[in-house]
Structure 1
Amino acid sequence: MTASRLHKGRSLVIPGLAALVALAILIGLGTWQLQRMAWKEDLIAQIQARAYGEPGAVVPESDWASWRADRDEFRKVRVTGTFLHEFEAPVYGLAPGERQGAPIQGYYLLTPLKLASGAVVMVNRGFVPTDLRDPARRPESLPHGEVTITGLVRAPEARNTFTPSDEPARNQWFARDPQAIAAAHHLDRVAPFLIDADASPNPGGWPRGGQTPLTLPNNHLQYAVTWFGIALTLIGVFAAFVWRRLQEPSQSS
Protein backbone atom coordinates (compact mmCIF):
# COMPACT_ATOMS: atom_id res chain seq x y z
CA MET A 1 0.00 0.00 0.00
CA THR A 2 2.79 2.45 0.88
CA ALA A 3 4.64 1.76 -2.37
CA SER A 4 1.40 2.22 -4.27
CA ARG A 5 0.78 5.58 -2.63
CA LEU A 6 4.37 6.63 -3.37
CA HIS A 7 3.83 5.71 -7.02
CA LYS A 8 0.61 7.69 -7.10
CA GLY A 9 2.37 10.65 -5.50
CA ARG A 10 5.07 10.58 -8.15
CA SER A 11 2.42 10.43 -10.85
CA LEU A 12 1.12 13.77 -9.60
CA VAL A 13 4.36 15.64 -10.24
CA ILE A 14 3.71 16.54 -13.89
CA PRO A 15 0.02 17.48 -13.35
CA GLY A 16 1.12 19.49 -10.29
CA LEU A 17 3.73 21.42 -12.28
CA ALA A 18 1.21 22.10 -15.03
CA ALA A 19 -1.30 23.33 -12.46
CA LEU A 20 1.33 25.61 -10.88
CA VAL A 21 2.19 27.12 -14.26
CA ALA A 22 -1.49 27.70 -15.03
CA LEU A 23 -2.03 29.16 -11.55
CA ALA A 24 0.90 31.54 -11.97
CA ILE A 25 -0.47 32.71 -15.33
CA LEU A 26 -3.95 33.29 -13.90
CA ILE A 27 -2.63 35.19 -10.88
CA GLY A 28 -0.38 37.22 -13.19
CA LEU A 29 -3.33 38.14 -15.40
CA GLY A 30 -5.39 39.16 -12.38
CA THR A 31 -2.55 41.26 -10.99
CA TRP A 32 -2.01 42.89 -14.40
CA GLN A 33 -5.68 43.84 -14.51
CA LEU A 34 -5.39 45.47 -11.07
CA GLN A 35 -2.40 47.45 -12.33
CA ARG A 36 -4.38 48.44 -15.42
CA MET A 37 -7.24 49.52 -13.18
CA ALA A 38 -4.92 51.82 -11.22
CA TRP A 39 -3.54 53.26 -14.47
CA LYS A 40 -7.07 53.76 -15.87
CA GLU A 41 -8.28 55.45 -12.68
CA ASP A 42 -5.32 57.82 -12.82
CA LEU A 43 -6.04 58.58 -16.48
CA ILE A 44 -9.72 59.26 -15.76
CA ALA A 45 -8.70 61.57 -12.90
CA GLN A 46 -6.37 63.48 -15.25
CA ILE A 47 -9.13 63.93 -17.80
CA GLN A 48 -11.62 65.13 -15.20
CA ALA A 49 -9.13 67.61 -13.73
CA ARG A 50 -7.74 69.02 -16.99
CA ALA A 51 -10.14 68.67 -19.91
CA TYR A 52 -12.91 70.96 -18.73
CA GLY A 53 -13.23 74.61 -17.82
CA GLU A 54 -11.56 77.60 -19.42
CA PRO A 55 -8.67 76.91 -21.82
CA GLY A 56 -5.16 77.96 -20.89
CA ALA A 57 -1.97 78.56 -22.88
CA VAL A 58 0.29 75.82 -24.16
CA VAL A 59 3.53 75.12 -22.33
CA PRO A 60 6.10 77.74 -23.45
CA GLU A 61 8.76 76.66 -25.93
CA SER A 62 11.47 77.07 -23.29
CA ASP A 63 9.92 74.14 -21.37
CA TRP A 64 9.38 71.81 -24.32
CA ALA A 65 12.62 69.90 -23.73
CA SER A 66 11.38 68.78 -20.31
CA TRP A 67 7.73 68.25 -21.30
CA ARG A 68 6.03 65.24 -19.69
CA ALA A 69 2.68 63.76 -20.66
CA ASP A 70 1.73 62.89 -17.06
CA ARG A 71 1.93 66.57 -16.15
CA ASP A 72 0.20 68.11 -19.16
CA GLU A 73 -1.79 65.66 -21.31
CA PHE A 74 -5.55 66.31 -21.67
CA ARG A 75 -5.19 69.92 -20.52
CA LYS A 76 -7.56 72.25 -22.35
CA VAL A 77 -5.65 74.96 -24.22
CA ARG A 78 -6.11 77.70 -26.79
CA VAL A 79 -3.43 78.65 -29.32
CA THR A 80 -3.22 81.14 -32.18
CA GLY A 81 -1.14 80.82 -35.32
CA THR A 82 -1.13 80.13 -39.05
CA PHE A 83 -1.64 76.68 -40.54
CA LEU A 84 1.05 75.32 -42.86
CA HIS A 85 -1.40 73.39 -45.03
CA GLU A 86 1.31 72.31 -47.47
CA PHE A 87 2.61 70.03 -44.71
CA GLU A 88 -0.75 68.48 -43.79
CA ALA A 89 -0.23 64.83 -42.74
CA PRO A 90 -3.18 62.41 -43.02
CA VAL A 91 -2.85 59.70 -40.35
CA TYR A 92 -4.87 56.56 -41.03
CA GLY A 93 -7.43 55.70 -38.36
CA LEU A 94 -11.00 54.88 -37.46
CA ALA A 95 -13.78 57.09 -36.15
CA PRO A 96 -17.10 56.09 -34.55
CA GLY A 97 -19.83 55.50 -37.11
CA GLU A 98 -23.54 56.07 -36.82
CA ARG A 99 -24.02 52.48 -35.64
CA GLN A 100 -22.13 51.04 -32.70
CA GLY A 101 -19.50 48.56 -33.83
CA ALA A 102 -19.38 50.02 -37.35
CA PRO A 103 -16.49 52.53 -37.39
CA ILE A 104 -15.62 54.69 -40.38
CA GLN A 105 -12.23 54.36 -42.05
CA GLY A 106 -10.43 57.54 -42.83
CA TYR A 107 -7.70 59.90 -41.71
CA TYR A 108 -6.90 62.30 -38.90
CA LEU A 109 -5.41 65.47 -40.34
CA LEU A 110 -2.30 66.66 -38.52
CA THR A 111 -1.34 70.13 -39.65
CA PRO A 112 1.55 72.27 -38.35
CA LEU A 113 0.42 75.53 -36.76
CA LYS A 114 3.12 78.18 -36.87
CA LEU A 115 3.02 80.48 -33.86
CA ALA A 116 3.92 84.15 -33.87
CA SER A 117 7.25 83.20 -32.24
CA GLY A 118 8.13 80.98 -35.21
CA ALA A 119 7.74 77.77 -33.23
CA VAL A 120 5.36 75.07 -34.44
CA VAL A 121 2.63 73.08 -32.70
CA MET A 122 1.12 70.12 -34.52
CA VAL A 123 -2.69 70.22 -34.51
CA ASN A 124 -4.92 67.22 -35.05
CA ARG A 125 -7.68 69.12 -36.81
CA GLY A 126 -9.99 66.12 -36.85
CA PHE A 127 -11.23 63.24 -38.97
CA VAL A 128 -12.09 62.96 -42.66
CA PRO A 129 -13.43 59.86 -44.46
CA THR A 130 -11.17 58.13 -46.97
CA ASP A 131 -12.68 59.88 -50.01
CA LEU A 132 -11.74 63.29 -48.58
CA ARG A 133 -8.08 62.50 -47.92
CA ASP A 134 -7.01 64.71 -50.83
CA PRO A 135 -7.19 68.41 -49.82
CA ALA A 136 -8.28 69.26 -53.36
CA ARG A 137 -11.61 67.58 -52.64
CA ARG A 138 -12.27 69.88 -49.66
CA PRO A 139 -10.65 73.25 -50.48
CA GLU A 140 -12.97 75.10 -48.11
CA SER A 141 -11.42 73.18 -45.20
CA LEU A 142 -8.09 75.01 -45.54
CA PRO A 143 -8.38 78.32 -43.66
CA HIS A 144 -5.75 80.92 -44.48
CA GLY A 145 -4.36 83.61 -42.25
CA GLU A 146 -4.32 83.64 -38.47
CA VAL A 147 -6.60 81.16 -36.69
CA THR A 148 -7.29 80.33 -33.07
CA ILE A 149 -7.61 76.68 -32.06
CA THR A 150 -9.07 75.33 -28.85
CA GLY A 151 -8.42 71.72 -27.93
CA LEU A 152 -6.70 69.23 -25.68
CA VAL A 153 -2.99 68.59 -25.28
CA ARG A 154 -2.12 65.04 -26.32
CA ALA A 155 1.05 62.98 -26.18
CA PRO A 156 2.40 61.45 -29.40
CA GLU A 157 0.60 58.24 -30.31
CA ALA A 158 2.48 55.18 -29.08
CA ARG A 159 3.51 52.67 -31.72
CA ASN A 160 3.39 48.91 -31.25
CA THR A 161 4.35 45.81 -33.22
CA PHE A 162 1.11 46.05 -35.21
CA THR A 163 1.62 49.67 -36.32
CA PRO A 164 2.59 49.75 -40.02
CA SER A 165 5.66 51.72 -41.02
CA ASP A 166 5.04 55.29 -42.15
CA GLU A 167 5.76 56.21 -45.76
CA PRO A 168 6.75 59.89 -45.67
CA ALA A 169 7.48 59.97 -49.41
CA ARG A 170 3.82 59.14 -50.07
CA ASN A 171 2.59 61.25 -47.14
CA GLN A 172 1.16 58.07 -45.63
CA TRP A 173 1.14 57.98 -41.82
CA PHE A 174 -0.06 55.47 -39.26
CA ALA A 175 0.76 57.17 -35.94
CA ARG A 176 0.09 60.67 -34.66
CA ASP A 177 3.75 61.46 -34.10
CA PRO A 178 4.51 65.19 -34.42
CA GLN A 179 8.29 64.79 -34.38
CA ALA A 180 8.30 62.18 -37.16
CA ILE A 181 6.04 64.32 -39.33
CA ALA A 182 8.12 67.42 -38.62
CA ALA A 183 11.33 65.61 -39.52
CA ALA A 184 9.88 64.48 -42.86
CA HIS A 185 9.09 68.11 -43.74
CA HIS A 186 12.31 69.53 -42.26
CA LEU A 187 10.46 71.61 -39.68
CA ASP A 188 12.26 72.69 -36.53
CA ARG A 189 11.19 74.16 -33.18
CA VAL A 190 8.27 71.70 -33.07
CA ALA A 191 6.42 70.96 -29.83
CA PRO A 192 6.81 67.42 -28.43
CA PHE A 193 3.03 67.22 -28.02
CA LEU A 194 0.06 67.85 -30.29
CA ILE A 195 -3.33 69.46 -29.83
CA ASP A 196 -6.55 67.62 -30.58
CA ALA A 197 -8.87 70.34 -31.88
CA ASP A 198 -12.30 70.53 -30.31
CA ALA A 199 -15.60 69.98 -32.11
CA SER A 200 -15.92 73.56 -33.41
CA PRO A 201 -17.26 73.15 -36.97
CA ASN A 202 -14.90 73.70 -39.89
CA PRO A 203 -16.02 75.24 -43.20
CA GLY A 204 -17.58 72.53 -45.34
CA GLY A 205 -18.06 70.29 -42.31
CA TRP A 206 -14.65 68.61 -42.56
CA PRO A 207 -12.45 67.74 -40.81
CA ARG A 208 -14.50 66.89 -37.73
CA GLY A 209 -12.71 67.65 -34.49
CA GLY A 210 -13.58 66.69 -30.96
CA GLN A 211 -12.44 63.10 -31.48
CA THR A 212 -10.72 62.70 -28.10
CA PRO A 213 -12.68 60.17 -26.00
CA LEU A 214 -13.32 61.72 -22.58
CA THR A 215 -15.42 58.87 -21.17
CA LEU A 216 -13.34 55.75 -20.69
CA PRO A 217 -14.64 52.30 -19.71
CA ASN A 218 -13.04 50.84 -16.59
CA ASN A 219 -13.89 47.14 -16.30
CA HIS A 220 -10.49 46.02 -15.04
CA LEU A 221 -11.70 45.10 -11.54
CA GLN A 222 -14.30 42.80 -13.08
CA TYR A 223 -11.63 41.20 -15.26
CA ALA A 224 -9.29 40.80 -12.25
CA VAL A 225 -12.01 39.12 -10.19
CA THR A 226 -12.67 36.78 -13.12
CA TRP A 227 -9.02 35.72 -13.39
CA PHE A 228 -8.65 35.27 -9.62
CA GLY A 229 -11.92 33.32 -9.57
CA ILE A 230 -10.62 30.97 -12.25
CA ALA A 231 -7.42 30.56 -10.21
CA LEU A 232 -9.43 29.57 -7.12
CA THR A 233 -11.46 27.15 -9.22
CA LEU A 234 -8.23 25.60 -10.51
CA ILE A 235 -6.99 25.12 -6.95
CA GLY A 236 -10.25 23.45 -5.96
CA VAL A 237 -10.35 21.18 -9.01
CA PHE A 238 -6.71 20.16 -8.60
CA ALA A 239 -7.15 19.49 -4.88
CA ALA A 240 -10.13 17.22 -5.65
CA PHE A 241 -8.09 15.48 -8.34
CA VAL A 242 -5.20 14.83 -5.91
CA TRP A 243 -7.53 13.56 -3.19
CA ARG A 244 -9.21 11.14 -5.56
CA ARG A 245 -5.89 9.94 -6.97
CA LEU A 246 -4.48 9.28 -3.49
CA GLN A 247 -7.63 7.51 -2.37
CA GLU A 248 -7.60 5.03 -5.25
CA PRO A 249 -5.13 2.54 -3.65
CA SER A 250 -7.24 2.25 -0.49
CA GLN A 251 -10.39 1.72 -2.49
CA SER A 252 -8.74 -1.04 -4.55
CA SER A 253 -7.33 -2.97 -1.56
Structure 2
Amino acid sequence: MEYKNKLQQQIDIYFSLPPILNQDFNDGVGLNEYRKISLVGKFIKKANFHLVNQVYKGEVGINIISVFKPHKINKYILVNRGWFPNSKKHMEYSKQPFHNDIIQNITIDGIIRAIKQKNFLVPDNEPDKNLWFYIDPLKMSKESNFLVNQKYYIKINDKPKILGQTSNFTRVKVHYKHHLFFSITWYSLSFILLLMYIHNFWRKKRNDK
Protein backbone atom coordinates (compact mmCIF):
# COMPACT_ATOMS: atom_id res chain seq x y z
CA MET A 1 0.00 0.00 0.00
CA GLU A 2 2.88 2.37 0.83
CA TYR A 3 4.50 1.65 -2.54
CA LYS A 4 1.21 2.39 -4.29
CA ASN A 5 0.86 5.73 -2.49
CA LYS A 6 4.42 6.80 -3.32
CA LEU A 7 3.95 5.82 -6.95
CA GLN A 8 0.69 7.77 -7.15
CA GLN A 9 2.39 10.83 -5.65
CA GLN A 10 5.16 10.62 -8.24
CA ILE A 11 2.60 10.23 -11.03
CA ASP A 12 0.67 13.27 -9.76
CA ILE A 13 3.86 15.37 -9.74
CA TYR A 14 4.67 14.47 -13.34
CA PHE A 15 1.05 14.89 -14.38
CA SER A 16 0.96 18.44 -12.98
CA LEU A 17 3.76 19.48 -15.34
CA PRO A 18 2.99 20.87 -18.81
CA PRO A 19 3.04 18.33 -21.64
CA ILE A 20 6.22 17.62 -23.57
CA LEU A 21 6.05 19.16 -27.04
CA ASN A 22 7.96 18.51 -30.25
CA GLN A 23 11.02 20.59 -29.38
CA ASP A 24 11.26 19.06 -25.90
CA PHE A 25 11.07 15.59 -27.41
CA ASN A 26 13.79 16.45 -29.91
CA ASP A 27 16.08 17.72 -27.14
CA GLY A 28 15.24 14.81 -24.82
CA VAL A 29 14.04 17.22 -22.13
CA GLY A 30 11.82 15.87 -19.34
CA LEU A 31 11.31 12.41 -20.80
CA ASN A 32 10.03 10.55 -17.75
CA GLU A 33 7.41 7.87 -17.32
CA TYR A 34 3.91 9.27 -16.70
CA ARG A 35 4.73 12.68 -18.19
CA LYS A 36 2.08 14.09 -20.49
CA ILE A 37 3.15 14.47 -24.10
CA SER A 38 1.58 16.21 -27.08
CA LEU A 39 3.27 15.72 -30.44
CA VAL A 40 2.49 16.90 -33.96
CA GLY A 41 3.57 14.55 -36.71
CA LYS A 42 2.50 11.51 -38.67
CA PHE A 43 2.11 7.76 -38.27
CA ILE A 44 4.33 5.68 -40.50
CA LYS A 45 2.18 3.73 -42.95
CA LYS A 46 2.10 -0.04 -42.50
CA ALA A 47 4.36 0.13 -39.43
CA ASN A 48 1.77 -1.38 -37.09
CA PHE A 49 2.37 -4.20 -34.63
CA HIS A 50 -0.24 -6.41 -32.96
CA LEU A 51 0.31 -6.74 -29.21
CA VAL A 52 -1.74 -9.88 -28.55
CA ASN A 53 -3.54 -11.38 -25.55
CA GLN A 54 -4.69 -8.01 -24.26
CA VAL A 55 -7.81 -8.28 -22.08
CA TYR A 56 -10.30 -5.43 -21.75
CA LYS A 57 -13.55 -5.84 -19.79
CA GLY A 58 -13.26 -9.61 -19.97
CA GLU A 59 -12.73 -9.78 -23.74
CA VAL A 60 -9.46 -10.76 -25.40
CA GLY A 61 -8.09 -8.54 -28.13
CA ILE A 62 -5.00 -6.77 -29.40
CA ASN A 63 -3.33 -3.42 -28.85
CA ILE A 64 -2.10 -1.65 -31.97
CA ILE A 65 1.46 -0.37 -31.61
CA SER A 66 2.47 2.06 -34.37
CA VAL A 67 5.57 4.04 -35.29
CA PHE A 68 5.15 7.83 -35.04
CA LYS A 69 7.42 10.54 -36.46
CA PRO A 70 7.14 14.03 -34.94
CA HIS A 71 7.05 16.88 -37.47
CA LYS A 72 10.48 18.16 -38.61
CA ILE A 73 12.25 15.82 -36.17
CA ASN A 74 14.33 12.88 -37.30
CA LYS A 75 13.28 10.69 -34.38
CA TYR A 76 10.64 8.00 -34.00
CA ILE A 77 8.66 6.60 -31.10
CA LEU A 78 6.21 3.74 -30.64
CA VAL A 79 2.60 4.66 -29.87
CA ASN A 80 -0.02 2.40 -28.31
CA ARG A 81 -3.08 3.46 -30.29
CA GLY A 82 -5.60 1.41 -28.38
CA TRP A 83 -7.35 -1.91 -28.05
CA PHE A 84 -9.30 -3.89 -30.65
CA PRO A 85 -11.33 -7.05 -29.90
CA ASN A 86 -10.24 -10.17 -31.76
CA SER A 87 -13.71 -10.56 -33.22
CA LYS A 88 -13.42 -7.22 -35.05
CA LYS A 89 -9.70 -7.16 -35.76
CA HIS A 90 -9.88 -8.23 -39.40
CA MET A 91 -13.10 -6.41 -40.26
CA GLU A 92 -12.35 -3.00 -38.79
CA TYR A 93 -8.56 -2.89 -38.78
CA SER A 94 -7.04 -5.05 -41.51
CA LYS A 95 -9.54 -4.08 -44.21
CA GLN A 96 -9.84 -0.42 -43.21
CA PRO A 97 -6.49 1.00 -42.02
CA PHE A 98 -6.53 3.94 -39.65
CA HIS A 99 -7.52 7.10 -41.51
CA ASN A 100 -4.98 9.00 -39.38
CA ASP A 101 -2.17 7.24 -41.25
CA ILE A 102 -2.70 9.52 -44.24
CA ILE A 103 -2.74 12.76 -42.20
CA GLN A 104 0.64 14.48 -42.27
CA ASN A 105 0.34 16.79 -39.26
CA ILE A 106 -1.88 15.07 -36.73
CA THR A 107 -1.68 15.88 -33.00
CA ILE A 108 -1.52 13.01 -30.55
CA ASP A 109 -2.00 13.45 -26.80
CA GLY A 110 -0.85 10.77 -24.43
CA ILE A 111 1.25 9.63 -21.50
CA ILE A 112 4.87 8.48 -21.65
CA ARG A 113 5.31 4.90 -20.49
CA ALA A 114 8.54 3.02 -19.87
CA ILE A 115 9.23 -0.08 -21.96
CA LYS A 116 9.43 -3.06 -19.61
CA GLN A 117 11.83 -5.96 -19.88
CA LYS A 118 10.41 -9.29 -21.03
CA ASN A 119 9.30 -11.54 -18.17
CA PHE A 120 10.60 -15.12 -18.38
CA LEU A 121 7.02 -16.43 -18.43
CA VAL A 122 6.08 -14.32 -21.46
CA PRO A 123 6.26 -16.16 -24.83
CA ASP A 124 8.70 -15.06 -27.51
CA ASN A 125 7.46 -12.67 -30.16
CA GLU A 126 6.66 -13.97 -33.65
CA PRO A 127 7.42 -11.02 -35.95
CA ASP A 128 6.80 -13.04 -39.14
CA LYS A 129 3.17 -13.50 -38.02
CA ASN A 130 2.90 -10.00 -36.49
CA LEU A 131 2.26 -11.56 -33.09
CA TRP A 132 3.90 -9.58 -30.30
CA PHE A 133 3.59 -10.62 -26.66
CA TYR A 134 5.67 -7.71 -25.40
CA ILE A 135 7.07 -4.47 -26.78
CA ASP A 136 10.53 -5.01 -28.22
CA PRO A 137 11.75 -1.64 -29.56
CA LEU A 138 14.94 -3.05 -31.08
CA LYS A 139 13.16 -5.77 -33.05
CA MET A 140 10.30 -3.43 -33.99
CA SER A 141 12.88 -0.95 -35.29
CA LYS A 142 14.32 -3.68 -37.48
CA GLU A 143 10.91 -4.80 -38.75
CA SER A 144 9.77 -1.25 -39.57
CA ASN A 145 13.16 0.06 -40.77
CA PHE A 146 12.82 3.02 -38.40
CA LEU A 147 14.92 3.36 -35.25
CA VAL A 148 12.41 4.06 -32.47
CA ASN A 149 13.04 5.29 -28.93
CA GLN A 150 14.43 2.33 -26.98
CA LYS A 151 13.28 3.42 -23.48
CA TYR A 152 9.79 4.84 -23.84
CA TYR A 153 6.56 4.59 -25.80
CA ILE A 154 3.40 6.70 -25.77
CA LYS A 155 0.07 5.43 -24.46
CA ILE A 156 -2.31 7.51 -26.51
CA ASN A 157 -5.26 9.17 -24.82
CA ASP A 158 -8.17 7.69 -26.75
CA LYS A 159 -10.94 9.25 -24.65
CA PRO A 160 -12.86 12.03 -26.43
CA LYS A 161 -12.51 15.56 -25.15
CA ILE A 162 -15.55 16.58 -23.10
CA LEU A 163 -17.32 19.82 -23.98
CA GLY A 164 -15.90 22.58 -21.80
CA GLN A 165 -12.92 20.48 -20.75
CA THR A 166 -9.64 22.42 -20.91
CA SER A 167 -7.37 19.40 -21.05
CA ASN A 168 -7.46 16.32 -23.24
CA PHE A 169 -5.40 14.30 -20.77
CA THR A 170 -6.79 11.72 -18.37
CA ARG A 171 -5.14 11.47 -14.96
CA VAL A 172 -3.35 8.18 -14.43
CA LYS A 173 -4.38 6.28 -11.32
CA VAL A 174 -2.65 3.35 -9.69
CA HIS A 175 -5.14 0.54 -9.16
CA TYR A 176 -4.11 -1.23 -5.98
CA LYS A 177 -6.31 -4.26 -6.66
CA HIS A 178 -4.72 -4.74 -10.07
CA HIS A 179 -1.21 -4.52 -8.64
CA LEU A 180 -2.17 -6.89 -5.84
CA PHE A 181 -3.74 -9.35 -8.28
CA PHE A 182 -0.66 -9.44 -10.51
CA SER A 183 1.67 -9.70 -7.52
CA ILE A 184 -0.27 -12.67 -6.16
CA THR A 185 -0.36 -14.26 -9.61
CA TRP A 186 3.40 -13.98 -10.19
CA TYR A 187 4.30 -15.12 -6.68
CA SER A 188 1.93 -18.09 -7.04
CA LEU A 189 3.46 -19.08 -10.37
CA SER A 190 6.96 -18.75 -8.93
CA PHE A 191 5.98 -20.94 -5.96
CA ILE A 192 4.50 -23.58 -8.27
CA LEU A 193 7.64 -23.59 -10.42
CA LEU A 194 9.77 -23.95 -7.28
CA LEU A 195 7.70 -26.97 -6.16
CA MET A 196 8.03 -28.53 -9.61
CA TYR A 197 11.79 -28.02 -9.53
CA ILE A 198 12.09 -29.60 -6.06
CA HIS A 199 9.88 -32.52 -7.10
CA ASN A 200 11.93 -33.20 -10.25
CA PHE A 201 15.18 -32.80 -8.35
CA TRP A 202 14.28 -35.41 -5.70
CA ARG A 203 12.79 -37.78 -8.27
CA LYS A 204 15.98 -37.63 -10.33
CA LYS A 205 18.06 -38.14 -7.19
CA ARG A 206 16.06 -41.25 -6.24
CA ASN A 207 16.40 -42.66 -9.75
CA ASP A 208 20.17 -42.17 -9.66
CA LYS A 209 20.49 -44.37 -6.58
TM-score, normalised with respect to structure 1: 0.56
Alpha carbons of structure 1 residues 61 and 90: separation in structure 2 relative to 1, 3 Å:
same
Structure 2 Cα separation of the partners of residues 212 and 165 of structure 1? 32
* Contact preservation (8 Å) 1:121, 1:190: yes
Structure 1 Cα separation of the partners of residues 13 and 101 of structure 2? 32
Correspondences of 1:229-248 after superposition (within 5 Å): none
Residue equivalent to 1:148: 107
The alpha-carbon deviation at position 142 of structure 1 amounts to 4.3
Correspondences of 1:1-253 after superposition (within 5 Å): 37-51=1-15, 54-57=18-21, 59-63=24-28, 72-97=32-57, 103-115=58-70, 116-134=72-90, 135-145=93-103, 146-188=105-147, 190=149, 192-201=151-160, 214-217=173-176
Look up the equivalent residue of 1:111 and give its one-letter code.
S
The alpha-carbon deviation at position 131 of structure 1 amounts to 2.9
Alpha carbons of structure 1 residues 187 and 76: separation in structure 2 relative to 1, 3 Å:
same
Structure 1, unaligned runs of 5 or more: 1-36, 98-102, 202-209, 221-253
Structure 2, unaligned runs of 5 or more: 161-168, 181-209
Q: How many residues get paired?
A: 167
Structure 2 Cα separation of the partners of residues 157 and 132 of structure 1? 28
Alpha carbons of structure 1 residues 198 and 73: separation in structure 2 relative to 1, 3 Å:
same
Look up the equivalent residue of 1:107 and give its one-letter code.
I
TM-score, normalised with respect to structure 2: 0.67
Structure 2 Cα separation of the partners of residues 86 and 140 of structure 1? 10
* Contact preservation (8 Å) 1:112, 1:123: yes
Higher percent of residues as strand: 2
Structure 1 Cα separation of the partners of residues 59 and 141 of structure 2? 27
Structure 1 Cα separation of the partners of residues 55 and 106 of structure 2? 25
Structure with larger Rg: 1
Higher relative contact order (CA 8 A, sep 6+): 1
Provide the alpha-carbon RMSD of the alignment: 3.1
Alpha carbons of structure 1 residues 107 and 60: separation in structure 2 relative to 1, 3 Å:
same
Structure 2 Cα separation of the partners of residues 159 and 177 of structure 1? 8
